[in-house]
Amino acid sequence: MNPLRQNIGQLFLVGCQSDALTSDERLLIEEYQFAGLILFKNNCGAPAQLVSLCRAIWESFDGVPPFIAADQEGGRVHRLPAPFSHFPAAARIGARNDPELAYRLGRATAAELTLAGINLNFAPVLDVQSNRQSPIIGDRAFAAEPLGVIEIASAWTNGLRDGGIIPCGKHFPGHGDTDKDSHFELPLVRKSLAEIQATELPPFAEACRNQIEALMTAHVVYPALDAKLPATLSEAIVTGLLRHQLGFDGVIFSDDLAMRAISDRYGVEEATALAIRAGVDVLLFCHEIDQAVVAFEFLCAEADRDASVRARIEASYRRVTQLKQRYLTRFTGVAENEITARLERLNHRELLSVFV
């Protein structure tokens, strides 16, 4: 693979179909050398199967090690079945108002993910639950006001990080006041700039000050920030606000570009061009790996003809590889015949007993 194509591969995170890699998926990984894979419930069965899958993913990548990601927030957004722990929703953790407990829960989440071989968690949720009727956030947020989110999310993040898992805060610049689910519709939040600065932005600003490793964008339109484009596709929001005003130099992941908030309005190539030009580092195609291939080839052609696109690719490649060099030094999953016993020895039932 030529250097440019290799660099572009690190700008894509994809999903797989089932509880084992198919031969076609292995061939695509070999050809495109994506940044990594994200796992969902259909990928996660018994502990031995999960660690076997993670090991196969790790061994399928030649050279740069892969992100192996999951959304393991707790509550209704968790991917790993029993005997992995089902940790409580963020709102229940926040209601305890105990940063030490939040830290221990983040550290415990990291311990279980590490045993399986997962190294990137798309959590914590940094959204503020400012709209209690939100169909997408709700109890996924730690609190209904910014200071509560900051205190508890910071502690939980520190626990996850200290346990060796890469945290990725979401959904910038905020998804907590939406009345639509971006999986199906494009939300629009008509708050003023002052209101956004007072409520939505403080948890993300604090995460940037604490040098969180990664953030994920929201498929939400904020007319006060960009009158036309959703945050994921907006240079004003991703580069202007997040990079320049908040000073973030970590890795920026898009939310899944196949979600209907984006896919109903933009073709794959247009969404790819807008997201990369906006300053997104890694594009997620969680269920449609063929769309990732289309986007990859389109981006290669764009880079050949446009120096500004090549510059964006080089900057993103730098951020991604620096994060991988920091965290992905080895495969962490344990032997398939050991993982159930190792989970038992963690004994997280005692930690979770306070929520019973």
- Distance (Å, rounded) from C-alpha 213 to C-alpha 105? 19
Q: Which of 232, 214, 207 is nearest to 222 (CA)?
A: 232
Gap between the Cα atoms of 83 and 340, Å rounded = 7
Q: Which one, of 70, 52, 69, 65, lies nearest residue 9 by Cα?
A: 65
d(C-alpha 235, C-alpha 225), whole Å = 10
What secondary structure letter does DSSP report for 188? B
Cβ burial 168-187 (10 Å sphere, 16+ → b, else e): bbbbbbbbbbbebbbeebbb
What are the distances in angstroms from CA 80 to CA 45, 91, 278, 316?
8, 20, 33, 30
With beta carbons less than 8 A apart as the criterion, state whether 38 and 16 touch: no
Q: Is 8 helix (H, G, I), strand (E, B) or coil?
A: helix
Please answer whether residues 48 and 340 qualify as being in contact, where contact means their C-beta atoms are separated by less than 8 angstroms. yes
Q: How far apart are the first and last CA of the chain?
A: 53
State which amino acid sits at residue 115. Answer: L
Instruction: Give the separation between CA 47 and CA 174, rounded to whole angstroms.
Output: 34
Catalytic residues: 183, 255
